[in-house]
Chains A and B, each alone.
Chain A
Amino acid sequence: MMKIRNTAFPYFIWLGIFIVVPLFLVLYFAFTTGDSQTLSEFTFSLDNYKRFLTPIYLNVFYRSVWLAVVSTAICLVLGYPIAFIISKEKAKTRNVMVLMLVIPMWMNFLLRTYAWLTLLGKNGIINYIAGKLGFQELDLLYNDTAVLLGMVYNFLPFMVLPIFSVMSKMDRNLIEAAEDLGADRRRTFLKVIFPLSLPGVITGITMVFIPAVSTFVISSLLGGNKSTLIGNLIEQQFRYTGDWHFGSSMSIILMVFIFLAMALTSKFDKEKEGEGGGGLW
């Protein structure tokens, strides 16, 4: 094409300053200790990691991963059938249904989470109805179940949409061939439809797991003070405690953990040929 390769030059500078340099800074902070005010007096140390490996922090990490895994699993179990149902609808109904899945995603994330405060709160609607029916007031808010609910509610569309998009592009002939060759519906599903939908499932898992494991908003709104996740720890270190070294090391741990988890997941996904990027990850 034209000799305009250098039109990307401003972007390269931007990329360098705002994406590459900051990550190296975090890496630098993560492996040093010192008074955060004077940069020159940092000394190399692995203390942050030693600190992280104590039971208090490991438990938080374990809990974050566990909640993210459970919410991803729930999203998959709830989302897969709905993706399947939508992909079988007529074109017109299908478009409307997809749009209806997308609309909640476009509502502000905080408002979606806040909505559950209204529903689950002490004088919220669910408790009001329960009270009318003669039940005792339930403690629905500020526990792990509420956090899980918030995660599933917020991230369910991220699971459904990729699975749906793979299913709707599936070659009808393959399914018909399986049926012609005598496979019943269960076998067709298990041997043809499900394996073909795996790339969508993997994308869905990625899109739910990453925000779920790194969230601090859902846990601080719905989980109350008791619920601390790795995201909350990082937030506290940077916003309140001011120990940027420890905060940075936890960010690095989170990042490495996610990339490892993704590498592991995409191993199952043979067809993942980088469409123009992302291949390295």
Chain B
Amino acid sequence: MVEKSIKRLYTFMIFLFLYAPIIVLIVFSFNDSKSRGVWSGFTLRWYFELFKDREVLRALYYTIFIAITSSLISTIIGTFAAIGIFGMNGFGKKLVLNLNYLPVLNPDIVTAVALMTLFRFVKLEFGVLTMLLAHVTFCLPYVILSILPKLKQMNRHLAEAAMDLGATPLYALRKVVLPEIMPGIITGALLAFTLSIDDFVISFFTTGHGISNLSITIFSMARRGINPIINALSTLMFIIMVSLLLIINYRTEKQEKSLVERR
């Protein structure tokens, strides 16, 4: 009995530790005072100020634009890459998979300065384009890694059967392979999207003058001290991220169920 309550208490403490800062952040986004720690009444003022803040709105625009574009590009390149890599074997496959792992394992800051050096070297102007290229680069490995397992699960003979029955390779790809691996593609795309929205380090090094995403804006605001607008922003972002996560979670659960049913 004692052991059980100790376990309960411990679990509670850990979750309290994980959630208390977030809850405080959310609660104080409705606080009618600039100074912390004191509750002085409910207000939506910070939300209104947030939507009037041009710096934040521009950052939001760039964040979403880059997240959509980079997840689209990385999903398309990544899907074809995964199919191609899956068909490879031997040393070449091993080499490519290891290179693919490099940005996943390397610390963000190393990937970031490496890309920064490249863009400087080829004299590309730092801005939206460089940030976009960098985002596609760090999203691609994750897209490929979410599609490869689906290809492994797929019945290898399906595509062959389709082609024996007269389908051209392209037709077989479109009608047989792609539908089979679609869940992996969508998971990869969503992963790329959220990674892109969340990224700070790589964006910070590859962006140019005056172009910033939400993370960079938050960083520069937070360095100046506490700002209730950030609280309002974090509340909104928290809600959006949690809903995205729940959607992904729901999807994978559904997939697992359908997999069990098929067997």
Given contacts A7-B84, A153-B17, A255-B107, contact A85 B10 (CB under 8 A): yes
A102 at the interface (CB under 8 A from B): yes
Q: Among the listed A8, A97, A278, which residue makes an inter-chain contact with B83, where contact means beta carbons less than 8 Å apart?
A: A8
Q: How far is the CA of A119 from the CA of B16 in the complex (A)?
A: 14
- Show 29 A/B contacts (Cβ-Cβ < 8 Å), sorted by A: A4-B173, A6-B84, A18-B134, A19-B99, A23-B102, A23-B114, A25-B118, A26-B114, A85-B11, A102-B245, A103-B245, A104-B19, A106-B194, A106-B242, A107-B237, A110-B215, A111-B233, A115-B21, A119-B24, A123-B35, A153-B17, A220-B223, A235-B109, A255-B106, A258-B106, A278-B101, A278-B105, A279-B94, A280-B94
The residue on A at minimum CB distance from B76 is A10
The residue on B at minimum CB distance from A206 is B105
Residues of B within 8 Å of A49, CB to CB, are: none
Residues of B within 8 Å of A5, CB to CB, are: 84, 87-88
Residues of B within 8 Å of A86, CB to CB, are: 11
Within the complex, the shortest CB–CB distance from A262 to chain B, in Å, comes to 8
Q: Is the interface of B mostly helix, strand, loop or mixed?
A: helix
Q: How far is the CA of A5 from the CA of B90 in the complex (A)?
A: 13
A216 at the interface (CB under 8 A from B): yes
A46 at the interface (CB under 8 A from B): no
A175 at the interface (CB under 8 A from B): no
Tell me the A1-33 residues at the B interface (CB within 8 Å): 1-12, 14-15, 17-23, 25-26, 29
Are A7 and B116 interface neighbours, CB within 8 A?
no
Q: Among the listed B134, B137, B159, B200, which residue makes an inter-chain contact with A109, where contact means beta carbons less than 8 Å apart?
A: B200
Residues of A within 8 Å of B108, CB to CB, are: 211, 214
Residues of A within 8 Å of B189, CB to CB, are: none
Q: Among the listed B35, B159, B234, B245, which residue makes an inter-chain contact with A114, where contact means beta carbons less than 8 Å apart?
A: B234
Tell me the A196-233 residues at the B interface (CB within 8 Å): 210-211, 213-214, 216-217, 220-221, 231
A247 at the interface (CB under 8 A from B): yes
Within the complex, the shortest CB–CB distance from B254 to chain A, in Å, comes to 14
Q: Among the listed A115, A217, A281, which residue makes an inter-chain contact with B25, where contact means beta carbons less than 8 Å apart?
A: A115
Residues of B within 8 Å of A22, CB to CB, are: 114-115, 117-118
The residue on B at minimum CB distance from A100 is B15
Q: How far is the CA of A2 from the CA of B159 in the complex (A)?
A: 7
B98 at the interface (CB under 8 A from A): yes
A38 at the interface (CB under 8 A from B): no
Q: Among the listed B18, B102, B148, B234, which residue makes an inter-chain contact with A19, where contact means beta carbons less than 8 Å apart?
A: B102
A167 at the interface (CB under 8 A from B): no
Interface size on A, residues (CB 8 A): 87
Are B10 and A254 interface neighbours, CB within 8 A?
no
Are A1 and B107 interface neighbours, CB within 8 A?
no
Given contacts A2-B172, A121-B36, A128-B37, contact A20 B107 (CB under 8 A): no
A191 at the interface (CB under 8 A from B): no
Are A217 and B117 interface neighbours, CB within 8 A?
no
Query: Which 4 pairs show the lowest CB-CB distances between chains A and B?
Result: A8-B84, A277-B97, A128-B37, A11-B81
Convert B213-239 into 0s and 1s, putting 1 for each residue whose CB lies closer than 8 angstroms to a CB of A.
011001100110110001101100110
Q: A14-B136, A123-B35, A255-B107 are in contact. List 18 more A-B contacts (CB 8 A).
A: A4-B84, A11-B80, A12-B81, A15-B100, A21-B118, A22-B115, A26-B113, A101-B18, A108-B197, A108-B200, A108-B241, A114-B222, A119-B21, A125-B36, A127-B37, A153-B21, A156-B17, A277-B101
Residues of A within 8 Å of B36, CB to CB, are: 118, 121, 123-125, 128
Residues of B within 8 Å of A6, CB to CB, are: 84
Are A8 and B24 interface neighbours, CB within 8 A?
no
B57 at the interface (CB under 8 A from A): no
Q: How far is the CA of A114 from the CA of B159 in the complex (A)?
A: 51
Given contacts A115-B22, A121-B226, A280-B98, contact A128 B38 (CB under 8 A): yes
Are B37 and A109 interface neighbours, CB within 8 A?
no
Most chain B beta-carbon contacts within 10 A, residue among A18, A29, A262: A18
A87 at the interface (CB under 8 A from B): no
Given contacts A25-B118, A118-B226, A124-B37, contact A238 B87 (CB under 8 A): no
A63 at the interface (CB under 8 A from B): no
B211 at the interface (CB under 8 A from A): no
B60 at the interface (CB under 8 A from A): no
A82 at the interface (CB under 8 A from B): yes
Q: Among the listed A12, A214, A238, which residue makes an inter-chain contact with B116, where contact means beta carbons less than 8 Å apart?
A: A238
A99 at the interface (CB under 8 A from B): yes
Within the complex, the shortest CB–CB distance from B46 to chain A, in Å, comes to 13
Residues of A within 8 Å of B182, CB to CB, are: none
Q: Among the listed A110, A153, A213, which residue makes an inter-chain contact with B218, where contact means beta carbons less than 8 Å apart?
A: A110
Within the complex, the shortest CB–CB distance from B178 to chain A, in Å, comes to 12
The residue on A at minimum CB distance from B121 is A25
Are B230 and A114 interface neighbours, CB within 8 A?
yes
Residues of B within 8 Å of A248, CB to CB, are: 113, 117
